[in-house]
Amino acid sequence: MGWPERKLIEEGVLSMLSVNMGLKEGERLLVVADPPTLAHWQDKGASALKVQLERSMLSRMVAEIAEGAFPDSVVEFYAYPSVGQSGREPGEIVAAKMLQADVLIAIVNHSLSHTNARAGATKAGTRIASMPGFEARMFHPGGPMSVDYEQVALDTQKLARLVTAAETATVRSPGGTDITFSLAGREGGVDTGLCSEKAAWSNLPAGETYAAPVEGTAEGMIVVPAGWYPDLIEDMILHFEQGLVVRLEGGGKVGDEFRGLLQLGSEEEVHKLRRNLAELGIGTNPNAKQPDNVLEAEKIRGTVHLAIGDSSHMGGTVVADLHEDFVIPEPDLLLDGRLVIEGGEWRI
């Protein structure tokens, strides 16, 4: 990732605040970070700790830039102990601060998107940029934040209309992914990156259409290729029956981590909920490139991503303490049998 340099990111940060978030003088801006806890200092390797610390420093630098550029706004930087897992609640203090902000920038290591804290803040009207795994280079010229977000919005909305109209979806890939599920009654959502309206929220960098598959309908398998998930050095295969992961092969250490999270032999509710096929996503950002950063990879134009765990924050019914996305490169995507993406190329 690299330690952030203010001169390289300042223009991108100011563009985010004005173009993406529509920050106005006098508004309350909250910027949050989740540095590692003492337990993480003991459990994690030096390289993982370095990345987490760099991201937390980037978050603080963004707050400093905002404070200088918007002197009439109330800018607060708040660091809370990392919760260690995307989708896990950040705690009452953070949730309360989120409710009081007009704009929230969450440059964090573990996502707040699929939490009640984020949903509550959205309901209260807070405009939110959820940026888990964000890297400083994404603010650089030519990076995924410097895209034409108006065009991204048009493309994303067009795909969302197709997803909303579809009854079924099939995803296939050269790597072996072959999975089919129902979308009946599910609305295609949009992540355009434009959050100037009250209660708007988005991932940044943005650019995806998404929907929650109907629970219990997914049949087939997802093959996550090596290099397309952090630290994944061998393919990881997730087999689905009746909407749930029933077997997980390969993946090396990453696979072991997910086998631990999913506990495939367990009937406990917490583990079963984590196994749910939670999301179909379609990337729409032409400047997104990096495959092993999930935040960016899932936005790559021409990719599809599929997630497990919580779907309740995107139109589904499953409430889980986990939401993890897996990006599929060069996919075929069929909606009601119609080829919408072929080998990573749009056919719309």
Q: What is the pLDDT along the chain (348 residues), one digit of tens a residue?
A: 678 899 999 999 999 999 999 999 999 999 999 999 989 898 888 988 999 999 999 999 999 999 999 999 999 999 999 999 888 999 999 999 999 999 999 999 999 998 999 999 999 999 999 999 999 999 999 999 999 999 999 999 999 999 999 999 999 999 999 999 999 999 999 999 999 999 999 999 999 999 999 999 999 999 999 999 999 999 999 999 999 999 999 999 999 999 999 999 999 999 999 999 999 999 999 999 999 999 999 999 999 999 999 999 899 999 999 999 999 999 999 999 999 999 999 999
Q: Where are the domains of the chain?
A: 6-141, 147-346
Tell me which DSSP letter residue 188 carries: P
Residue with tokens 């077997």: 247
Which whole-number Å values give the CA distances from 108 to 47, 295, 338, in the listed order?
17, 11, 38
Contact 111, 132 (CB under 8 A): yes
Number of separate helices (H) and strands (E) present in the chain? 9, 18
Give the other-Cβ count within 10 Å of 311's Cβ: 26
Helix (H) or strand (E) run with residue 223 in it: strand 219-224
β-pair type (332-335, 168-172): antiparallel
- Return d(Cα 248, Cα 251) in angstroms, integer: 9
Contact 133, 112 (CB under 8 A): no
Contact 54, 99 (CB under 8 A): no
CATH architecture of 6-141: 3-Layer(aba) Sandwich (3.40)
What 3-state DSSP class applies to 338?
strand
- Return d(Cα 199, Cα 127) in angstroms, integer: 5
- Return d(Cα 207, Cα 336) in angstroms, integer: 23
